Amino acid sequence: MTVQSADGTLVVLAEEGEGPTILIVHGGMSDESPWGPVAGELAKDFHVVRIRRRLYRLELSPDPATDFAREVDDLAALTATFNAPCLIVGHSSGAIVALEALVAHPTAYAGAVLYEPPIVLDGPVGTPTSVARARAALAKDKIGTALRIFLKDAVRVPAATAYLAGIFSGFMPDLKKFVARQIEDMDAIDRLGRRVETYATIQTPVLFLTGGKSPAHLGERTRTLAEVMPHATVTTMPEQGHGAQTADPALVARLITEQARTVGLGEPGSDDGHHSDVPG
């Protein structure tokens, strides 16, 4: 499938399976590849499309002031090719893109699964100096230092963990190449600002996923948002963190499938409206 966005840019995507459509918007520090195992599970029953976000297309120049809006345009161009509303799945910053799409084009989506969107609450996702310090490190080609700043300030992993990740990033080219874009992503979130009240107007049924082992602030942000949205539920994966799509793709695929059924994609389901915990 070839799709052209509003500004003429071709949308990059991966597509597999047949049936009702599930659209996956990946998170930071990656492209669509880490969601391949989940997509493989879902493709047994669904048409699965994984979009590559503009911020993580290395052939394009980033612009944190407009990238989220252009990513929403990409999603709009893509959903216009579907013959029915789809289920949108968003992870981390990709879940923020999904929220923006739900606000901008609600009729394109039958439902959503959003995994720990790091929304702005009372200040920047990191510290007021995180982006500037990370960019200064990148200007000196200190990619590991920039990664360490992001992980410590924004993700809020322990300092020792962030330090080790910074060192090992030099041996992980697939990770290293996306660090600069992750800093742009952090800046884009901060520029977007607090949008809780806007997201509270979303009428689409949304299942929020959170990991019992994720940094606490991600669960807090998720629950804060779910509490103000009229058709939101929260499922906690007790044994998972922020990367369950790679740690347990079968679990994540099952939860997505259940939400798809609940909103009428494929076999009928039911929604009891309660928060739940699931094993895994």
Q: For residue range 102-149, what is the model confidence (pLDDT) as tens digits?
A: 999 999 999 999 999 999 999 999 999 999 999 999 999 999 999 999
71-93 tens-digit pLDDT: 999 999 999 999 999 999 999 99
pLDDT tens sequence across 233-259 = 999 999 999 999 999 999 999 999 999
Angle at 35 between CA 34 and CA 37, to 5 degrees: 95
The answer to whether residue 273 scores a pLDDT higher than 60 is no
User: Which residues on adjacent β-strands are paired with residue 4?
Assistant: 10
Q: How confident is the model at residue 163 (pLDDT cuts 50, 70, 90)?
A: low
Contact yes or no for 12/77 (Cβ under 8 A): no
* Structure confidence by residue, pLDDT tens digits, 182-197: 999 999 999 999 999 9
Residues 244, 250, 251, 257: is their CA dihedral positive or negative?
positive
What is the CATH number that goes with domain 3-120+194-277?
3.40.50.1820
Our CA angle for 126, 168, 64, nearest 5°, is 35
Distance from C-alpha of 159 to C-alpha of 256, rounded to nearest angstrom? 33
Identify which of 178, 16, 206 has the alpha carbon closest to the alpha carbon of residue 96.
206
Mean pLDDT of the chain: 91
Question: From start to end of the chain, where are the E strands?
Answer: 3-4, 10-11, 13-16, 21-25, 47-51, 86-91, 109-115, 206-211, 232-237, 276-277
Give the C-alpha separation, 38 to 82, whole Å. Answer: 21
Distance separating alpha carbons of residues 45 and 215, to the nearest angstrom: 33
Q: How far apart are alpha carbons 179 and 165 in whole angstroms?
A: 12
Spatial neighbors of 114 by CB under 8 A, at least 6 apart, are 89, 90, 95, 98, 99, 206, 207, 208, 209, 222
- Cα–Cα distance measured from residue 62 to residue 149, given in angstroms and rounded to the nearest whole number: 20
The HSE-up count of residue 19 (CA atoms within 13 Å, CB side) is 17
d(CA 86, CA 108): 7
- Sole residue written with tokens 């994966």: 237
Spell out the domain ranges in the chain: 3-120+194-277, 130-190
- The Cα–Cα gap between 30 and 177 comes to 9
